[in-house]
Chains A and B, each alone.
Chain A
Amino acid sequence: MKKKINLWAWFWIVLGALYFLVPLYGTFDFSLREKRGVLSLLAYQNVLADPRFRDSFTYSTLMALATIVVGLLLIVPTAYWVHLRLPQVRPLIEFITLMPFVVPAIVLVFGLIRIYSGPPLALTNSDQLTNFLLMCGYVIISMPYTYRSVDTGLRAIDVRTLTEAAQSLGAGWFTILFRIIFPNIRAALLSGAFLTFAIVIGEFTLASLLGRPAFGPYLVYMGNNRAYEPAALAIISLALTWAAIGLIQLLSHGRPGQEQVGGVH
């Protein structure tokens, strides 16, 4: 009886793995066939030799990091305050954070361009300010994921009592947020950060319409003009994304004392 259940479990796991891995393998195999008749890394060499690849990937990585930091600094205090003082507005906040699912990115970006391409706030006239505008857009489209992760994290701890305990020991809001709240929802913050990273790296609509040299538009450009390089790019960007996520994971585990807390959850 027990054996049978195990067998089924394995069956589903293998089926699920195949569902993801077969296309990946297909892409990988295809990416090695630029030279007729032999397997070669030529497509990879071409991609890596292309400065636009390096530049756009770096650009998007930096944008993703900025988005994560700004997004969390915006969402965590908000969600914290809602938990602590304004539980009655939670449905409203949830509704707002779901808006990016309802309003397509294309609508969002046209809205941004309309408002910020002329006075009084002509942000699109300079590259730096357009970068800023793009990051704000990213913060918005990643908000549903960030908010949900943070909210789940806050639900798992006794926000109110921990806050009051810290207050009675003399802590101010800054200390409470950075020494108590952030460390105790670390896992939630990380998962929010991963999702944001993944979204921003591949994002096309906002970056392309704001005319910024991001990785998403580059991928699409390559896809339209080459055959084998896009497959190689897909594999590379997957690997880089995982590497970046692993790095975040590693960095955030490096702090003393955190491991054991994580182990308990």
Chain B
Amino acid sequence: MAFLELTDIRKQFGQAVAVEDFNLKVDRGEFVSFLGPSGCGKTTTLRMIAGFEIPTEGSVTIDGADITNKAPNQRNVGMVFQSYALFPNMTVAQNIGFGLRIRKESESAIKERVDEMLALIHLEQKGHSYPSQLSGGQQQRVALARALAIRPQVLLLDEPLSALDAKIRVSLRAEIRAIQRKLGITAIYVTHDQEEALSISDRIVVMSQGHMEQVGTPFEIYNFPQTAFVASFVGTLNTTTAEVVDSAKGILQIDGARLATAEKLDGRQKGDKVTIAIRPERFSFASEQKKANVVDCRIENITFLGSIVRIQVSIGSGKYFMDTFNNPFLELPKVGDKDQVTCSREAVLVLKD
């Protein structure tokens, strides 16, 4: 049985539906991210686990106990907020010890736990500082320690890194993940940053407009997006409409080219329209190696992105991106050149409608 279960969750604010048909089972110690654009219901779902919102329908259980209607302060759930939300009138140590003090633990137990937490976040020297004397990254680490100090059953993080600058964001997310692993705590992490979600999670729930689009490991989400939304939201992706030519052999016609796909086209008739997607890195120039799909194209634009060179090509009337690794001996084509690109049958993804 899963540790944290959300079953048939629906949340309405007045007439507006914020979340619906939400079903998720999270195992003990798992790190799950909710990923999606602004307003898709990530925070609302998280707040239902924390108890700040009560679902209109459905249930939330932790470790078999139904907590759907429990008050937030009756649950044992730690929460980390985007704005840190440290208590400005308390020192770092008092902030971390706050939850333990509420639980009426002994002063010596509190001190021990606070020291342990300070060591965990590498801020041993800052116990007597006030939050306003710390940097944003340090404050968020304190907030994390404060949430963990109470030994919560589940740790919830709502865009904890959005207020920080890029470098700290990357190092702190690694730190959060390391701490989560070390403590083996079940964590739900909300973000709208796909790179963050891909790098940090065991599993990702991609959300759009209040419902789940796809649940899977970062590998699955990136390589096998099931819907056009997931495909476009996670990573860069070329999508276009194609017409089914031969569903048994997986032959599709796009404007200006014929492509073969390895995916099953069960139930599709000749002439049906489908949406297909191809990752930029799955394209290569046909001269490099022969693959199933070789297509005439014209070079439209070349962008240098450091380790990657992104080339825009046109096939028929459509424009597509193609990524190649940069290296000093790379012979780049020129804009306006005619060339041939290729991709494997497996690279041509057929998306659900």
Q: Which residues of A contact B (CB under 8 A)?
A: 157-158, 161-162, 164-172, 175, 179-180, 183-184, 186, 257-258, 260-261, 264
Q: Is B11 an interface residue (CB 8 A)?
A: no
- B residues near A, CB below 8 A? 50-52, 71-73, 75, 77-79, 81, 83, 85-91, 94, 98-99, 102-103, 130, 132-133, 143, 146-147, 150, 156
A261 to B89, CA, bound (A): 6
Contact B147–A168 (Cβ < 8 Å): yes
Query: 22 A-B pairs, CB-CB below 8 angstroms?
Result: A158-B83, A158-B85, A164-B50, A164-B72, A164-B81, A165-B85, A165-B87, A165-B146, A167-B51, A167-B71, A168-B73, A168-B79, A169-B73, A169-B102, A169-B150, A170-B73, A170-B103, A171-B98, A257-B89, A258-B89, A261-B89, A264-B88
A260 to B87, CA, bound (A): 13
- Give chain B residues whose Cβ lies under 8 Å from the Cβ of A183: 89
Contact A257 B130 (CB under 8 A): yes
Known A257-B130, A260-B130, A264-B130; contact A164-B89, beta-carbon cutoff 8 A: no
Nearest-CB residue, chain A, relative to B71: A167
A71, chain B: closest CB distance, angstroms? 22
- Give A264 to B88 CA distance when docked, in angstroms: 10
Q: Which residues of B contact A180 (CB under 8 A)?
A: 87, 89
Tell whether, in the assembled complex, residue B73 and residue A172 are in contact, meaning their CB atoms are under 8 Å apart: yes
Q: How far is the CB of A213 from chain B (nearest CB, A)?
A: 40
Whether the Cβ atoms of A162 and B87 lie closer than 8 Å is yes
Q: Which residues of B contact A169 (CB under 8 A)?
A: 73, 78, 98-99, 102, 146-147, 150
For the complex, what is the distance from the CA of A171 to the CA of B103, rounded to whole Å?
9
Instruction: Give chain A residues whose Cβ lies under 8 Å from the Cβ of B133.
Output: 260
CB distance from A1 to the nearest CB of B (A): 36
Closest A residue to B90 by beta carbon equals: A257
Q: Which 5 A-B pairs have the closest CB atoms?
A: A169-B99, A165-B85, A183-B89, A168-B79, A167-B72
Complex partner residue of B130 from A161, A162, A261, CB under 8 angstroms: A261
Report Cα–Cα, A184/B83, bound state, in Å.
16
User: Which residues does chain A contribute within 8 Å of B99, judged by CB atoms?
Assistant: 169-170
Chain B's closest residue to A184 (CB) is B89
Identify which of B83, B88, B150 gathers the most chain A CB atoms within 10 Å of its CB. B88
Whether A167 contacts B73 by the Cβ 8 Å rule is yes
Q: Of all chain A residues, which has the CB nearest B152?
A: A168
**Cβ contacts under 8 Å, B98 to chain A:** 166, 169, 171
Contact residue among B51, B79, B89, B91 (Cβ-Cβ distance under 8 Å from A165): B79
In the complex, chain B residues whose CB is within 8 Å of the CB of A167? 51-52, 71-73
Whether A168 contacts B130 in the complex (CB less than 8 A), given A162-B85, A180-B87, comes out as: no
Question: Among the listed B88, B130, B147, B150, which residue makes an inter-chain contact with A157, where contact means beta carbons less than 8 Å apart?
Answer: B88
Assuming the contacts A257-B90, A260-B130, A261-B130, asked whether A170 and B102 have C-beta atoms less than 8 A apart, the reply is yes
Given A169-B146, A257-B90, A261-B132: A164 touches B102 (CB 8 Å cut-off): no
**A257 B132 Cβ-Cβ under 8 A:** no
Question: Which A residue sits closest to B75, measured CB to CB?
Answer: A168
* Besides the known contacts A169-B98, A184-B88, 11 further A-B residue pairs in the complex with CB atoms under 8 A apart: A161-B81, A164-B85, A165-B79, A168-B72, A169-B73, A169-B146, A170-B103, A171-B98, A180-B87, A260-B130, A261-B88
B251: min CB distance to chain A, Å:
55
> A128 → chain B, closest Cβ, in Å?
37
